[in-house]
C-alpha cells in the first residue's frame, strides 16, 4: 500500500443487506461518508441513542472465530470482512450504521462490501493518513501458531501467511506473501471466502447456531474438498486468512508499515499483535512527554 497518502472516505452513502452467519438474523449495513480523522465507526442505529463504537483495538473483545467490538452495552461482531474491505481499499473515514449486532455473512467473502463501496466512489480528503512504522520485531504466540511484525526495508506493508492443516487434511498447507495495494486486494484477496471443516460446521449447528447458513454460503470442507461448492482459487483458504489479517490489523486505526508474518494465526493472535503495537506506540509517546 502507498504509505504516504491522504485520507479517504466514500463519495456517497451505500448499503448492503444480508444474514448473520451465527445469529441467522437479517441485518442492514449503511456506509456513510465521514470527516477527516473520524476513522471507522460503527453506529448501532437500532439501539436507544444510536451508540457509536469506534473500530479500534481498545474496544476489541475476545470471541471465538470472529472479531467483535464492544463499548458499554453496544456490540458489533463478525466485523472482520467489513474492516478488510475498507482497509483493503484504503478507506479511512466511514460510519457504518447497522441494525443488528452481527454483520452480514453474504457469500463468505468481503467482495460484496468492496463492490458496494466502489459503486459509492472514493473521495480523497485534505489531510495525510497517519501511519505507524514498525521499527522492531514483535512476536506473539507459540510453536503451534504465531504472528510477528518486523521492520520492512522497502517501506511497504508486506503480509505473509502460512496455513497448515496437515498433509492429511483436504485443506493441507498453503502459503502466500503479498505487498498490499488496493488493486491487489480487490482482484486477489477480496473474492476469497471464509471456510471451515465439516466437523466444525456440525458442531456449530449442534449448538443451535448458523441455522440459515448452507454450504453455498461459505466453504465447508469434507474429506474430498468443498461440499456443494467450488473453489475460486486453488489456494482460496490462505487468501481468506490474509483477508482476516487485513481486517484485524485495521484495528490499529492507522496504516501499519512493516512486514507481518503469521503461522496458523487467527483473530485472537491478530488482535493481540495490534494491541502490542498500539501499546508500544503509547509508551513511546509517554517517554517523549517525560523527556
> What are the catalytic residues?
267
Residue 102 sits in the site that holds Zn ion (CB under 5 A): no
Interface residue with Zn ion among 236, 244, 255, 272 (CB under 5 A) is 244
Of 28-36, 114-122, 157-165, 242-250, the segment contacting Zn ion by CB under 5 A is 242-250
Rounded CA-CA distance 29/96 in Å is: 6
Q: Which stretch binds Zn ion (CB under 5 A): 200-208, 236-244, 252-260, 271-279?
A: 236-244
Q: Which of 4, 1, 88, 3 is nearest to 40 (CA)?
A: 88
Give the contact letters, 180-209, x = binds to Zn ion (CB under 5 A), - = no: --------------x---------------
User: What residues contact 275, with CB distance under 8 A and at least 6 apart?
Assistant: 57, 60
Cell of 90: 484504503
From CA 194, how far away is CA 107, in angstroms rounded?
A: 9
Name the residue nearer to Zn ion (CB basis): 117 or 134: 117
Q: What is the DSSP string of 164-209?
A: E--TTSSS-EEEEEEE--HHHIIIIITT---EEEHHHHHHHHHTT-
In whole angstroms, the minimum distance from the beta carbon of 244 to Zn ion comes to 4
Give 32 or 42: the residue with its C-beta nearer to Zn ion.
42
Q: How far is the CB of 188 from Zn ion (least distance, A)?
A: 15
Q: Which residue's CB is nearer to Zn ion, number 62 or number 154?
A: 62
Interface with Zn ion by CB under 5 A: which residues?
A: 194, 244
Amino acid at each position: 500500500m502507498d504509505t504516504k497518502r491522504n485520507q479517504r472516505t466514500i463519495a456517497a452513502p451505500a448499503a448492503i443487506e444480508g444474514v448473520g452467519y451465527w445469529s441467522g438474523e437479517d441485518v442492514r449495513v449503511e456506509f456513510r461518508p465521514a470527516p477527516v480523522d473520524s476513522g471507522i465507526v460503527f453506529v448501532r442505529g437500532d439501539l436507544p441513542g444510536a451508540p457509536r463504537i469506534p473500530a479500534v483495538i481498545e474496544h476489541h473483545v475476545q470471541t471465538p472465530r470472529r472479531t467483535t467490538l464492544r463499548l458499554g452495552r453496544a456490540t458489533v461482531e463478525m466485523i472482520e470482512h467489513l474492516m478488510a474491505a475498507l482497509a483493503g481499499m484504503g478507506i479511512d473515514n466511514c460510519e457504518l450504521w447497522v441494525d443488528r449486532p452481527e454483520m452480514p455473512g453474504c457469500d463468505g467473502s468481503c467482495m460484496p462490501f468492496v463492490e458496494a463501496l466502489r459503486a459509492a466512489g472514493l473521495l480523497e480528503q485534505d489531510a495525510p493518513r497517519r501511519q505507524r512504522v514498525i521499527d522492531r520485531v514483535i512476536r506473539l504466540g507459540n510453536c503451534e501458531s504465531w504472528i510477528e511484525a518486523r521492520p520492512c526495508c522497502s517501506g511497504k506493508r508486506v503480509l505473509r501467511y502460512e496455513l497448515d492443516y496437515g498433509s492429511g487434511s483436504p485443506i493441507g498447507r498453503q502459503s502466500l506473501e503479498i505487498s498490499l495495494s488496493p488493486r491487489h486486494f480487490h482482484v486477489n484477496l477480496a473474492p476469497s471466502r471464509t471456510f471451515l471443516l465439516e466437523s466444525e460446521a456440525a458442531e456449530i449447528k449442534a449448538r443451535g447456531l448458523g441455522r440459515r447458513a448452507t454450504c453455498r454460503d461459505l466453504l465447508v470442507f469434507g474429506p474430498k474438498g468443498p461440499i456443494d461448492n467450488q473453489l475460486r482459487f486453488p489456494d482460496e483458504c490462505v487468501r481468506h486468512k490474509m483477508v482476516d489479517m487485513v481486517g484485524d490489523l485495521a484495528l490499529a486505526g492507522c496504516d501499519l508499515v512493516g512486514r507481518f508474518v503469521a503461522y496458523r494465526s487467527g483473530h485472537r493472535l491478530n488482535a493481540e499483535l495490534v494491541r502490542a503495537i498500539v501499546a508500544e506506540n503509547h509508551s513511546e509517546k509517554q517517554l517523549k512527554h517525560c523527556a
